[in-house]
Amino acid sequence: MAASLCKLRSLQVKWPGFMPWSLDVLSIDSGQLYGLRGPNGVGKTTWLRLVAGLLPANGTVCWQQAQCQQIGRLAAFCMLLEDYYQASDKVYHIVRQEYALRMGCEPSEQQYHEICKTLAWSLDDQCCWGALSAGQKKRVLQLPLSYVMAAVWLLDEPWAYLDSQATADLDKAIGRHLAIGGAVIVVSHQPISLPHQQLSLQRGVLC
């Protein structure tokens, strides 16, 4: 039986106007990939934000600290957010800013270049955000997966816009994270090729 990294109990959004949520207990287990499915508009992205603590909520998130320490990961979620950048913003600054916000310190030049090695193209320091394709932007936004040491990844449509090579690279990254005992929750309308446990969300009810 897989060891639990985290248990979610009775989570509900506290803001008025949000649909009610029904979640008794969900155990997020080590080495497990979860695919969260459901029609448009049922609240899959909201659910990820709720779990990540980005929305005020009732309920509890109970981390199994000993299990997280055993796999060498922090008892934390890593959620990748869609971009809010301007077309004129330099990608160099975006990558460094994202690192500083997540890690609490500026990356060295060596660290910056090590992070960027996971991209499928050479990143020009003068390149602007608006010059990137949708797929390239997606890859830049996924760079934190290479350095954030969180036990659980929360990924919203991670394969959208990616070409075949980028898709394969992301699959490998997910596989490595699962292999060391991490867990991943994915929201995707695309078929998930990796072995996973399916979760369905219907009108705020997780089943």
pLDDT tens column, 29-75:
999 999 988 788 777 888 888 889 888 888 889 999 999 999 999 99
- From residue 151, give the alpha-carbon distance in Å to each of 68, 107, 122, 188: 6, 22, 29, 20
**Domains of the chain, residue spans:** 1-80+148-207, 85-141
Nearest to 92 by CA among 138, 120, 137, 124: 124
The CATH architecture that domain 1-80+148-207 belongs to is 3-Layer(aba) Sandwich (3.40)
Torsion angles phi and psi, residue 190, rounded to 5: -85, 155
Nearest to 201 by CA among 55, 14, 36, 24: 36
**Can you give the pLDDT at residue 46?**
83
Mean pLDDT of the chain: 89
What letters, b where the CB count within 10 A reaches 16 and e where it falls short, cover 114-129?
ebbeebeeebeeebbb
What's the pTM value of the predicted model, to 2 decimals?
0.91
**Can you give the pLDDT at residue 206?**
62
**Can you give the pLDDT at residue 84?**
84
Q: How far apart are the first and last CA of the chain?
A: 21
pLDDT in tens, 148-168: 999 999 999 999 999 999 999
Share of the chain above pLDDT 70, in %: 92
pLDDT in tens, 92-121: 999 999 999 999 999 999 999 999 998 888
What's the token pair of residue 34?
């979860």
